[in-house]
Chains A and B, each alone.
Chain A
Amino acid sequence: MKTVAKKEFKDLLTEKTFILAIIIQLFIASFSTFLVIGLTSFYDPTALGNVDFEGVNIGVVGTHDDELYNILIENNVHTYLYNDFIPAYGDFFDRKIDAIIVTPLGTAEGTDLLNVDIYLPKSEIKATVISLQLKESLEEYEQSVRDVRTQRLPGYSPIEFNIIKRGVHASSTFFEFVYVALLPLLVFTPAFISGGLIIDFITEEYERKTMDLLLASPASLLEIISGKAILAILIVPLQSFVWMLLLSMNRISISHSLQILLIVTLIASVLVFSSTIIAVFFKDRGVAQLLYSLMLIFLFMSSYLFTNSPLNLVTRLSIDSITAIESWTWTGIYLLLALFLYLATMLVIKKDPHNI
């Protein structure tokens, strides 16, 4: 068993495929940082240093006493007042202003719906920036109209809470993107890859007809396959560890990192044993890989459905949002699952007709 694992490890290094796998992950990581930067710039425009927000001018078609116009001024939006749409459009076209707002005709005291028309430059990144700038003012405007109008609703009492902010500023979108999406995906990617790798390890021996040669050696089928599986599982925590290290170098602190590594290893075992069963059962690479991918999607989709799915568990552990009892209970559940699949794998191999 050890020798098989050693042989596979040597093969893995000499074929340079392992290095390719690392490069793939680096690629994914660089894409992720692209996403992070993209997302922060969407939700927190000040994070994007090189776009000049001061330069965004907004034309307002309306009158001096329009409530919306006054709210915009209060919020330090650079506005120009027009009394007609056409001159505003001319200035928009000549890039003197970047958006046009047509204020509604009615007032809060009236009963009609109030329509605000916003004209944004098509296919320009400024459109996003402007929308973000305007959202706050528009919501304020909506709130002030609602303050008047919701009094007409029977039995409605508005909920009012003051959120007292401390010095720390953090957008929940960014925080949740890092800990809910990025971190779990990165630490589990090696496990996903290993699941596919073991299928190649096994089906290759069948398709090249070298399995019979291996079986002629003193090693049994069980030993051969266990050797391959152990290797596939062991390389996972190593890679995940590197990811976590890289993340913490980017000042993303991760709590309970050892327990996270343990969970990743357990999930890697679940995936590797499952795909071992698939590979031994079907022996054809195409079919096995397809089934594995489908299984992966199924598992991924299912983890949306319950709290403490492996990905959610990693998230909660990393930000210290789970009690020790709860987290170890679930770690235990995944351990049992891995053990169960290990036994199932042994059974499938023993029952396999190729087993001499």
Chain B
Amino acid sequence: MPGWLTIAKWELMRSKLKFDARSIIMLIISLILVIAASYAASQTGMSMNQKIYLVAFSQPDVQPIIQTDQRFDYMLVDRYEATVYYEYGADMAIIGNNVYLGDTRKAASAGDALENTFKEYREIVLSSYNDINNTHPVWVTVHDLERPQDFQLAGATNTLDELSRGYNRTAGLDNVPGGREATSGTGSVRTGSSTISPEDIEALDAMQGKTFFERQTIATPSNFNPPVPFTAILYAFLFIFPIYFVSQFYSTSLMDERTNRKGELVLIAPLKSRDVVIGKTVPYLVITMAIQAAITLYILKMPSTLADVERVILILAAILPVILLFFALSFYSAILSRSFKELTFASVFLSVVISGYLFFPAMFANIHAISSISPITLIVRLIEGESVPMNTYLFSTLPFYLVAGAVYAFGTSIFREEDLFTQKSIGSKIIDCFEMFLSYRYGSVFFLSIIFIPVVYMTQLMLIVMLFNLPVPYSILAMIILSALAEEIVKSIGIYTLFKRKISEITFKNAIRLSILSGAGFFVGEKAVAVLTLAPIASSAFGTVMTMGALLLVPLLLHVTTIIISSLVMYWKGPDAYKYAVVAATIFHTIYNMTILRGLLF
């Protein structure tokens, strides 16, 4: 039996012990409560906006209209009192056919809300007639048409953009119902929609119910909504919540081993630390995947055809890297933190960051190409029945796989007594990882830089998400500075480790040699990433910042120069001046990038 399997079995046994009958009963009770409350909540408007506006009126016939909306609190007063509604603290008054608003912001927004309530009430009344041709005479069908992307920001069109302009012009017509026939010259003018409108009210209700989970394509004008994909966030919650819970158990279990040196026995056993880590991870991974599979089946219903099965598998394939990243980071923070408190904060912090990375781009699924950086977008698309091409899958998941892999590798390398059971500072534990890596036979700053590429890449994508809504010149400016900083840190951290831990002597020759190695490594990795995955966003301005420079030599020179700056600062001032070294290199890097991108900025 392989070593990791033994550990996995232990782990399962142990967690069984932890859940005694008492806690299992409590968990089941609270789960039932949660499900009941969520069900009850989903029957309401799912908003805590009860009674936020007060409206005064004198005609009782308005009352049923107002009562359809929980936002309104009302007071039935006589006609004179209604005219002085503001004295009673009301936001507006309905007198006759006129609605008078107060002069506050709240009153203005109450007026806006009331307008919608009237509209909705009208829909309710009209729907009660079973005569769709007269009550809902107009139907809107929305079709999505593909065309070459054109980012407003990108002043510079590079080769990749040119490539996408060679887009097959007639291919898009496949999506147009009847479009093909029209091109082939059947002379069908004004190819209407082939979609059949729902014939009765029940079908209309079914439509409206469906729009919550399915992309709306046909609706009456009043129900016609812009593609704001809030459903995407719902999916993200459904998929992410279980991961968050399980990863908490996972990190607690690791921390358990560390407190009171419980895990020492495992380390003494004739097992590689790799086996221990795998063994401790696999059970949690399997459990999470099982939960995710259940969720997928719940959303998609039981698959009946082969295509459905394929979809289920693809969704699981999209969620796997997310789970791995969550686990990798919980694993690493469980090793780094010195107490449960630290662990809680670290895991909450990381969850917030990763969730942000996952959620916000997914909000723009169906709207913007940027959204495909999040695997959740893939899931949304798969659920909506769209296909996801291989390169999109790679584009959004590869960084997750690579970062998770790197974090696990670093974490495993310090999965040893002196790092697990001593009160070392977090910083020195992190440096330990690099020291371990650099003292391997093939370890060198060259490869260290390459390994960091996905980390930098994800940080930069995260920055895009966060800076996306700053006004344009500032967002690009902030992006340039912050991505330069990220790049400079990872390039120089290896050299810092070597100098600080006295693995190589601090000489001028060494500083230059290591700088060239590290800079070249970063350059190689960066170009590899650009070629592999950056195509989908390369034409946006943000993409340009990341992959800048079609000329190959200039960026190489830049990477080497900036790292030489930081290693020379360390050579003159000693490794403790690392902070200043990075700042100096960042400044230089930023200035370079600004000169290249000045066309975009000014």
Residues of A at under 8 Å CB distance from B?
11-12, 15, 17, 20-21, 23-24, 27-28, 30-31, 33-34, 37-38, 42, 49-52, 61-62, 83-86, 89, 92-93, 95, 100, 102, 104-105, 108, 111-125, 127-129, 131-132, 134-135, 138-139, 141-142, 145-146, 149-150, 152-153, 156, 158-172, 174-176, 179-180, 184, 193, 196-197, 200-201, 203-204, 207-209, 282, 284-287, 289-291, 293-295, 297-298, 301-309, 311-312, 315-316, 319-323
Contact = CB atoms under 8 A, between A and B. Distances in A.
Contacts of B144: 119-123, 127
Contacts of B157: none
Nearest to A86: B182
20 contacts: A93-B169, A115-B195, A117-B140, A120-B144, A128-B228, A128-B367, A135-B225, A141-B221, A142-B137, A149-B137, A153-B134, A176-B109, A180-B49, A207-B340, A285-B340, A291-B27, A303-B48, A304-B41, A308-B50, A321-B54
A197 B41 contact: no
A145 B137 contact: yes
B367 A124 contact: yes
A165 B226 CA distance: 25
Given A15-B341, A312-B50, A305 B41 contact: yes
B384 to A, nearest CB: 12
B145 A119 contact: yes
Chain B contact residues (Cβ within 8 angstroms of A): what range? 35 or more
Contacts of B113: 172, 176
A116 B145 contact: no
B74 interface: no
A285 B54 CA distance: 46
A85 B189 CA distance: 7
A196 B346 CA distance: 13
B291 to A, nearest CB: 14
Contacts of A321: 51-54, 73, 106
A161 B44 contact: no
A286 B15 CA distance: 10
B40 A305 contact: yes
What are the nearest 5 A-B pairs in CB distance? A175-B109, A131-B226, A301-B37, A138-B221, A304-B41
Interface of B: 18-19, 22-23, 26-27, 30-31, 33-34, 37-38, 40-41, 44, 46-54, 65, 71, 73, 89, 94, 97-116, 118, 121-122, 125-126, 129, 131-150, 152, 169, 172-173, 176, 179, 182-183, 189-193, 195, 197, 220-222, 224-228, 245, 248-249, 252-253, 256, 259-260, 338-342, 344-346, 348-349, 352-353, 356, 360, 363-364, 366-369, 371, 466, 468-469, 471-472
Contacts of A160: 97
Contacts of B471: 49-50
Nearest to A90: B169
Contacts of B191: 85, 102
B52 A316 contact: yes
Nearest to B244: A293
Nearest to A286: B252
A176 B131 contact: no
Contacts of B472: 50
Contact of B112 (A172, A301, A309): A172
Most A CB within 10 A of own CB, among B48, B249, B341, B471: B48
A42 B342 CA distance: 39
A236 B114 CA distance: 37
B192 A102 contact: yes
Given A17-B341, A200-B344, A132 B183 contact: no
Contacts of B51: 307, 312, 316, 321-322
B89 to A, nearest CB: 8
B65 A298 contact: no
B342 A17 contact: yes
Contacts of A156: 125-126, 129
Nearest to A322: B51
Contacts of A30: 466
Contact of B147 (A24, A93, A146, A197): A93
Contacts of B469: 33-34, 37-38
B478 to A, nearest CB: 13
A70 to B, nearest CB: 15
Contacts of A294: 27, 30-31, 33-34
A160 B338 CA distance: 67
Determine chain A's interface SS by DSSP, over half rule: helix
A171 B133 contact: no
Given A17-B345, A85-B190, A200-B344, A301 B41 contact: yes
Contacts of B142: 118, 120, 131
B145 A149 contact: no
A38 B141 contact: no
B95 to A, nearest CB: 10
A161 B368 contact: no
A287 B183 CA distance: 65
Contact of B137 (A132, A146, A158, A303): A146
Contacts of B23: 282, 284, 287, 291
A38 B104 contact: no
A315 B48 contact: yes
Contacts of A141: 138, 221
Contacts of A115: 139, 141, 192-193, 195, 197
Contacts of B360: 31, 34
A124 B149 contact: yes
Contact of B222 (A50, A139, A311): A139
A31 B356 contact: yes
Nearest to A27: B352
A150 B224 CA distance: 20
Given A169-B108, A179-B52, A285-B340, A209 B260 contact: yes
A291 B19 CA distance: 12
A139 B99 contact: no
A200 B341 CA distance: 6
A50 B367 CA distance: 17
Nearest to B188: A85
Contacts of A119: 143-145, 176
A75 B125 CA distance: 28
Nearest to B249: A286
Given A17-B341, A31-B360, A84-B189, A104 B248 contact: no
B381 to A, nearest CB: 10
Contacts of A105: 190, 192
Contacts of B103: 166-168
Nearest to A299: B37
A131 B100 CA distance: 30
Contact of B101 (A166, A171, A172): A166
A11 B113 CA distance: 49
Contact of B139 (A102, A113, A312): A113
A129 B346 CA distance: 39
A180 B141 CA distance: 33
B352 A120 contact: no
A278 to B, nearest CB: 8
Contacts of A307: 50-51
Given A142-B220, A298-B30, A284 B98 contact: no
Given A168-B103, A180-B52, A122 B145 contact: yes
Contact of B143 (A118, A159, A319): A118
A295 B147 CA distance: 48
A292 to B, nearest CB: 10
B213 to A, nearest CB: 19
Nearest to B386: A122
Contacts of B27: 287, 290-291, 294
Nearest to A42: B228
A221 to B, nearest CB: 19
A28 B360 CA distance: 12
Contacts of A171: 109, 112
Contact of A290 (B50, B148, B249, B363): B249
Given A138-B140, A153-B131, A289-B248, A131 B47 contact: no
